[in-house]
Amino acid sequence: MGIRFILMVNKQGQTRLAQYYEWLTLEERRALEGEIVRKCLARNDQQCSFVEHRNYKIVYRRYASLFFMVGVDDDENELAILEFIHLLVETMDKHFGNVCELDIMFHLEKAHFMLEEMVMNGCIVETSKANILSSIQLMDKAH
């Protein structure tokens, strides 16, 4: 299935965005997020971007205070996911201009819309920034 979940968590361990592509109960999510965040936050820059956790592989990347963590199946192409994170960040950057944690926090809905244009059912659906952002522009127009 590929991507199981996408998390954005800040340095203090607060979740800023969570999108799951498989159903987990709230309890399971809380436990999972806690464990993953603890593992990733404990790592330093010299270590690789991959963490094995239960039957997931976590591919993560840090941008300033914010961690982007993507849970994937064991056999997913890790580097492709790593760059997909960067594509997501660049897309948000293009929209918000100099995107920061607060943008994601206060524009949660837009972050969700972007993600929805990029990933569906755990698979990558679109990688062109222009196409991804077209639906958000549509929404802005509606206002």
Partner 1 sequence: MSGMRGLSVFISDIRNCQNKEAERLRVDKELGNIRTCFKNEKVLTPYKKKKYVWKMLYIHMLGYDVDFGHMEAVSLISAPKYPEKQVGYIVTSCLLNENHDFLRLAINTVRNDIIGRNETFQCLALTLVGNIGGRDFSESLAPDVQKLLISSSCRPLVRKKAALCLLRLFRKNPDAVNVDGWADRMAQLLDERDLGILTSSTSLLVALVSNNHEAYSSCLPKCVKILERLARNQHVPQEYTYYGIPSPWLQVKAMRALQYFPTIEDPSTRKALFEVLQRILMGTDVVKNVNKNNASHAVLFEALSLVMHLDAEKEMMSQCVALLGKFISVREPNIRYLGLENMTRMLMVTDVQDSIKKHQSQIITSLKDPDISIRRRALDLLYGMCDVSNAKDIVEELLQYLSTAEFSMREELSLKAAILAEKFAPDLSWYVDVILQLIDKAGDFVSDDIWFRVVQFVTNNEDLQPYAASKAREYLDKIAIHETMLKVSAYILGEYGHLLARQPGCSASELFSILHEKLPTVSTPTIPILLSTYAKLLMHTQPPDPELQKKIWAVFKKYESCIDVEIQQRAVEYFELSKKGAAYMDVLAEMPKFPERQSSLIKKAEDVEDTADQSAIKLRAQQQPSNALVLADPQPVDGAPPPLKVPIVSGSTNPESVARSVSQAYGTLSSIDPQTPSPDLLSDLLGPLAIEAAPGAEQHGPIGAEGVPEEVDGSAIVPVEEQTNSVELIGNIAERFHALCLKDSGVLYEDPHIQIGIKAEWRGHHGRLVLFMGNKNTSPLTSVQALILPPAHLKLDLSPVPDTIPPRAQVQSPLEVMNIRPSRDVAVLDFSYKFGTNMVNAKLRIPATLNKFLQPLQLTSEEFFPQWRALSGPPLKLQEVVRGVRPLALPEMANLFNSFHVTICPGLDPNPNNLVASTTFYSESTGAMLCLARIETDPADRTQLRMTIGSGDPALTFELKEFIKEQLITIPMGSRALVPAAGPGPAPAPPVAQPPSPAALADDPGALLAGLL
Q: How far apart are CA 57 and CA 72, in angstroms?
A: 5
**Beta-strand pair 119-120/15-20:** unpaired
Give the E-state strand segments of the chain in sequence order: 3-10, 15-20, 50-53, 56-63, 66-72, 119-120, 123-124
Residues numbered 13 to 42 that lie near partner 1 (CB under 8 A) are 15, 17-21, 23, 25-31, 33
82 binds partner 1 (CB under 8 A): yes
123 binds partner 1 (CB under 8 A): yes
CB of 36 to partner 1, least distance (A): 13
Name which position in 41, 50, 62, 63 contacts partner 1 (CB under 8 A): 50
Q: Which is nearer to partner 1, 75 or 98 (CB)?
A: 75
Q: Which residues of this chain interact with partner 1, rule CB under 8 A?
A: 2, 15, 17-21, 23, 25-31, 33, 43, 46-52, 54-55, 74, 77-80, 82-84, 86-87, 105-109, 112-113, 116, 120-121, 123-131, 134-135, 138-140, 142-143
